[in-house]
Amino acid sequence: NQEVNLAQRKFPLHLVLDTTPDMTIRNRETFGPLLMVLTYREPGEVLEYVNSHDRPLALYPFTNDDKLADLYIERIMSGGVTVNDALMHVAQHDIPFGGVGPSGMGHYHGYEGFVAFSKLRPVFYQASFSFLQWLRPPYKGFATRVYNLLVKLKS
């Protein structure tokens, strides 16, 4: 019942029905109040359609059938998954949010977000004395004896 209100920048939810494969909405992720609705008869049709396109940022299966939800979760590669709701996984700051493939890489939120946006900088200090120095070239003394022993054991 809502109208577009440009002055208030309001655009109500629109369900988009009867799309064709060449329409932009069928070929791009949609962010905003547009929801494309596709129908299917068998779960296999859903798997075939979704898996023949770029991996989605998120997967929102609406079903009371736990086995069907599990089938979609197992067989469709996506970013986050929310069963029987939309967008609530974004509001959960303790679980990661992010896509795969063209939908993005990595996660943000929680610990995973901290790690994703941090740069781990490893620093290694070699001790001034190390037994490894006897095994590095130029080989002499102890290193030569170890080398000869290993060759002898292998023969």
Q: What is the CATH number of the domain that holds 70?
A: 3.40.309.10
Whether residue 15 lies inside any domain: the answer is no
How is residue 30 written in tokens?
């949609």
The verdict on 46 and 103 lying in the same domain is yes
* Per-residue pLDDT at 126 exceeds 90: no
Both 56 and 111 in one domain: the answer is yes
Q: Same structural domain for residues 131 and 79? A: no
92 shares its domain with 140 = no
- pLDDT higher than 80, residue 154: yes
Which tens digit of pLDDT belongs to each residue from 63-101?
Answer: 999 999 999 999 999 988 999 998 787 788 778 777 777
Token output for 14: 């629109």
Segment holding 110, helix H or strand E = helix 110-116
The pLDDT value recorded for residue 140 is 77
Coil, helix or strand at residue 97: strand
Residue 155 falls within a domain, yes or no?
Answer: yes
Cis check for the bond before 43: say yes or no (omega within 30 of 0). no
Q: Is residue 48 part of a domain?
A: yes
Please check whether residue 10 lies inside any domain of the structure. no
Residues 85 and 132 in one domain: no
Strand (E) positions, the chain?
Answer: 14-16, 34-36, 58-59, 80-81
Query: Does some domain include residue 6?
Result: no
Measure the CA–CA gap between 80 and 90, rounded to whole angstroms: 9
**Residue corresponding to tokens 């063209």:** 102
Give the range of the structural domain holding residue 154, as residue numbers without chain letter. Answer: 124-155
Q: Calculate the alpha carbon distances from 110 to 57, 101, 135 in Å.
A: 18, 21, 45
The total number of structural domains that make up the chain: 2
> Do residues 56 and 90 share a domain?
yes
Same-domain pairing of 93 and 139: no
Lookup: tokens for 62: 């609406």
pTM assigned to the model: 0.64
- Tokens in use for 127? 């001790």
Q: Please report which confidence band the pLDDT of residue 113 belongs to, taking 50, 70 and 90 as the band edges.
A: confident
Judgement on whether residues 55 and 107 belong to the same structural domain of the protein: yes
